[in-house]
């Protein structure tokens, strides 16, 4: 077993624990955070079913971003939709036998690699080119875009410039999942792709990328607009109310 195989094996175990453990703690924190006020962004649905529908439109189509800024929506949606396809395509490295729908999505997943790059490039140019966005941009805003871009470009490089041993990659990751360690193919571009992915997994629970689980806990999106029909009481206020 090469040193690189051991280093990447340990790195991915650590990254997985940090990602899953960190996300679980964050989500528990979000779930416990009180929402003392009724503040759905109006016009808002007046029933629970309506709220679910609104949330689905928000998560799948980025509805409020569409209404807010067409260019940001275009690049943002292109990036996220492409990312979903790319991740679906990657499932082949972690499943045996590969599920039917993952086989079907393979060609789309490659196209999506380019979609990801185009979307991220657009979002990066926006941070530099739009004066008011440049003013509020922090190093982490740039860093996340550059990290994701580097992951996509190194992935595409393996597909088109320096093909890697994908069967070996799959053996390595299945081996990690089933505690039967296998060597990782020795390949510089693969090392780069994987190191960047591990970095992404480790920073995820501490970064702005938490907007992914966070959107579901946003009171302005997940509340029913019924302040006249039902009195809104946060749990701590309910306690005061009784005393």
- Binding residues for ligand HEM, rule: CB under 6 A, are 83, 86, 89-90, 93, 109-110, 113, 116, 148, 151-152, 155-156, 158-159, 163-164, 166, 169, 173, 193, 197
Closer by beta carbon to ligand HEM, 161 or else 240: 161
Indicate left, alpha or beta for 140 from its phi (over 0: left) and psi (-120 to 50: alpha): alpha
As a whole number of angstroms, the distance between CA 59 and CA 117 comes to 21
In whole angstroms, the minimum distance from the beta carbon of 192 to ligand HEM comes to: 11
Q: What's the token pair of residue 169?
A: 């990659």
CB closer to ligand HEM out of 44 and 152? 152
Query: How far apart are the C-alpha atoms of 186 and 175, rounded to whole Å?
Result: 16
Contact criterion met (CB below 8 Å) for 27 and 213: yes
Q: 113 vs 205, which CB is nearer to ligand HEM?
A: 113
Tokens of 28: 């528990």
Q: Residue 46 or residue 189: which is nearer to ligand HEM going by CB?
A: 189
Our CA angle for 176, 188, 172, nearest 5°, is: 15
CB atoms inside a 10 Å sphere around CB 53: 12
Which tokens is 26 given? 């964050």
Q: How far is the CB of 31 from ligand HEM (least distance, A)?
A: 26
Beta carbon nearer to ligand HEM, 120 or 224: 120
Q: How far is the CB of 83 from ligand HEM (least distance, A)?
A: 6
Q: Shortest approach of ligand HEM to residue 147 CB, angstroms?
A: 9
Residue nearest to ligand HEM (CB): 155
Using CA atoms, how far apart are residues 230 and 211, in angstroms rounded to an integer? 29
User: Minimum distance from CB of 198 to ligand HEM (Å)?
Assistant: 8
Residue among 45 and 76 whose Cβ is closer to ligand HEM: 76
Shortest approach of ligand HEM to residue 17 CB, angstroms? 14
> How many CA within 13 A on the CB side of residue 48?
1
């Amino acid at each position: 077993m090469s040193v690189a195989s051991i280093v990447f094996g340990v790195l991915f175990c650590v990254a997985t624990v940090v990602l899953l453990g960190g996300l679980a703690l964050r989500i528990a924190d979000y779930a416990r955070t009180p929402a003392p006020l009724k503040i759905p962004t109006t016009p808002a649905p007046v029933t629970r079913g309506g709220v679910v529908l609104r949330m689905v439109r928000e998560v799948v189509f980025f509805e409020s971003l569409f209404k807010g800024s067409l260019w940001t929506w275009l690049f943002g949606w292109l990036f996220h939709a492409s990312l979903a396809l790319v991740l679906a395509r990657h499932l082949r490295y972690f499943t045996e036998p590969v599920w039917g729908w993952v086989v079907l999505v393979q060609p789309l997943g490659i196209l999506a690699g380019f979609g990801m790059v185009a979307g991220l490039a657009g979002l990066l140019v926006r941070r530099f080119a739009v004066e008011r966005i440049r003013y509020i941009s922090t190093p982490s805003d740039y860093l996340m875009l550059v990290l994701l871009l580097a992951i996509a470009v190194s992935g595409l490089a393996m597909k088109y410039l320096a093909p890697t041993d994908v069967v070996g990659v799959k053996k390595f990751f299945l081996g990690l999942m089933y505690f039967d360690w296998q060597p990782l193919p020795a390949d510089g571009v693969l090392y780069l792709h994987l190191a960047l992915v591990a970095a992404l997994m480790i920073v995820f629970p501490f970064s702005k990328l938490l907007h992914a689980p966070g959107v579901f806990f946003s009171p302005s999106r997940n509340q029913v607009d019924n302040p006249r029909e039902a009195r809104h009481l946060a749990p701590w206020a309910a306690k005061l109310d009784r005393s």
